[in-house]
């Protein structure tokens, strides 16, 4: 060690840097001359360890997720001493006017909102040719990853997520914003398990949504009027949210087909199969709420987020009552069989 810097035994001229593994937590010594953001495998578990990168006071420490616009990193704000997330724009897009506008749009849209279930934006900046967005850290995976891991989520969890995200969308609408790309991958979870709506890169004002535009959205969750290039409004976001909840609840997207064209056609012409017919354990109030929210015609859907939230809340209450009654029956049966007298001793 020279002046507090560990030297490489194989080459004393090459410094090493000690970095913790995000997979197992073991400290590893990695070559200090590695380019920022490059990775080496952990000597213990093989997890990729990233060479940190500094953007002003933000130190990027590990990649969390990647998308079309760039990569999101777990980072540390050295000034305020807190963990944040940094979305770093791809270098090849920095000079792309349309891509930059999308990045700016996302920053402005989120910064104008203040809701528990919408990701908070701290700053948007440029440093030595890098464009980046600093935001609240939500690193406990996405709804997409939960569906992949669990196949389908408990009904109560789906209702809780639906109520909170619908409230977030209602808050955005009150600021005249439509999200326009609701899908499982755009709902993240923080350390407390709270859902956070992200990626307002396609967001438009309610007035702009009536203009002639290309079809935007994820095919599995897109509203019929968007496929037909008709006017979209908040009811299009509502449809996409219901489709997202449908996927989480049943383990299946609303319409499955071998081609994107067939999926889009199904959104226009094929009635969605009620969730309780796909998964019999799903209660009918929840099933009916999602089917109504995914009606082909916007006029047949709930006409406000408040209406949708009320329907989900009522379904949640009925589900909880049903679960309590079932638990009561189990305890009663156990008592009749003589199993309830000594359960507290076990």
Give all domains of the chain, ordered by start, each with its CATH number: 34-135 (3.30.200.20), 143-326 (1.10.510.10)
Quick one: what percent of the chain has pLDDT higher than 70? Answer: 86
Residue 63, pLDDT above cutoff 50: yes
H helices of 85-191, in order, are 97-111, 143-150, 155-174
Please tell me the pTM assigned to this model: 0.83
- Predicted confidence at residue 288, as pLDDT, reads 98
Among 263, 43, 159, 291, which Cα is nearest to 19's? Answer: 43
SS3 assignment for 1-40? CECCEEEECCEEEEEEEEEECCCCCCEEEEECCCCCCCEE
Give the confidence band of 345 by pLDDT, cuts at 50, 70, 90: very low
- Predicted confidence at residue 214, as pLDDT, reads 46
Give the confidence band of 217 by pLDDT, cuts at 50, 70, 90: low
Strand ranges, E, within 172-277: 177-178, 187-189, 195-197, 204-205
Residue 166, pLDDT above cutoff 90: yes
Output 195 or 39, whichever has higher pLDDT. 195
- Predicted confidence at residue 268, as pLDDT, reads 96
Give the confidence band of 344 by pLDDT, cuts at 50, 70, 90: very low
Q: 136, 148 in Cβ contact below 8 A?
A: no
Residue 307, pLDDT above cutoff 60: yes
pLDDT tens, residue by residue, 91-115: 888 888 888 887 887 788 888 889 9
Give the confidence band of 6 by pLDDT, cuts at 50, 70, 90: very low
What distance in Å separates the CA atoms of residue 50 and residue 119, rounded to the nearest whole number?
25
Taken as a whole, the chain contains a residue count of: 346
For the ranges 61-75, 181-195, 265-279, 307-321, which has the lowest average pLDDT? 61-75
b/e per residue 306-335 (b: at least 16 CB within 10 A): ebbbebbeebbeebeeeeeeeeeeeeeeee
3-state helix, strand, coil in the chain (%, to 5): 40, 25, 40
Task: Select the highest-mean-pLDDT range: 189-203, 215-229, 301-315.
Answer: 301-315
- Predicted confidence at residue 342, as pLDDT, reads 47
- Predicted confidence at residue 17, as pLDDT, reads 78
Q: What is the DSSP letter of 279?
A: S
pLDDT tens, residue by residue, 174-194: 999 899 999 999 999 999 999
Active site positions, annotated: 181
Q: 29, 36 in Cβ contact below 8 A?
A: no
Output 224 or 24, whichever has higher pLDDT. 224
Report the pLDDT averaged over residues 198-203. Answer: 76
Label residue 84 left, alpha or beta by phi (over 0 means left) and psi (-120 to 50 means alpha).
Answer: beta
């Amino acid at each position: 060690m020279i002046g507090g810097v560990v030297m490489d035994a194989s080459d004393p001229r090459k410094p090493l840097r000690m970095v913790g593994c995000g997979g197992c937590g073991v400290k590893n010594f990695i070559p200090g001359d590695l380019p920022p953001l490059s990775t080496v495998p952990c000597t213990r578990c093989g997890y990729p360890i990233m060479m940190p990168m500094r953007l002003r006071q933000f130190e990027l420490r590990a990649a969390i997720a990647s998308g079309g616009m760039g990569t999101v990193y777990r980072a540390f704000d050295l000034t305020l001493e807190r963990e944040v997330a940094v979305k770093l724009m791809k270098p090849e897009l920095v000079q792309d006017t349309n891509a930059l506008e999308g990045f700016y749009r996302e920053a402005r849209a989120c910064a104008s909102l203040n809701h528990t279930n919408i990701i908070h934006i701290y700053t948007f900046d440029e440093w030595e040719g890098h464009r980046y967005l600093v935001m609240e850290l939500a690193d406990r995976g996405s709804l997409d990853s939960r569906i992949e891991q669990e196949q389908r989520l408990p009904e109560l969890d789906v209702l809780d997520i639906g109520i909170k995200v619908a409230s977030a969308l209602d808050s955005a609408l009150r600021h005249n914003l439509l999200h326009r790309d609701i899908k499982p991958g755009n709902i993240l979870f923080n350390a407390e398990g709270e859902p956070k709506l992200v990626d307002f890169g396609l967001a438009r004002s309610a007035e702009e949504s009536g203009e002639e535009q290309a079809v935007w959205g994820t095919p599995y969750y897109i509203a019929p009027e968007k496929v037909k290039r008709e006017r979209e409004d908040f009811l299009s976001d509502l449809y996409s949210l219901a489709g997202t909840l449908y996927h989480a609840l049943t383990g299946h997207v609303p319409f499955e087909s071998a081609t994107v064209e067939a999926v889009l056609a199904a959104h226009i012409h094929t009635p969605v199969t009620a969730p309780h017919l796909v998964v019999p354990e799903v209660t009918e109030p929840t099933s009916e709420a999602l089917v109504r929210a995914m009606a082909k015609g916007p006029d047949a859907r709930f006409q406000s987020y408040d209406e949708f939230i009320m329907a989900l809340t009522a379904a949640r209450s009925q589900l909880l009552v049903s679960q309590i009654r079932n638990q009561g029956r189990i305890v009663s049966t156990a008592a009749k069989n003589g199993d309830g007298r000594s359960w507290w001793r076990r």
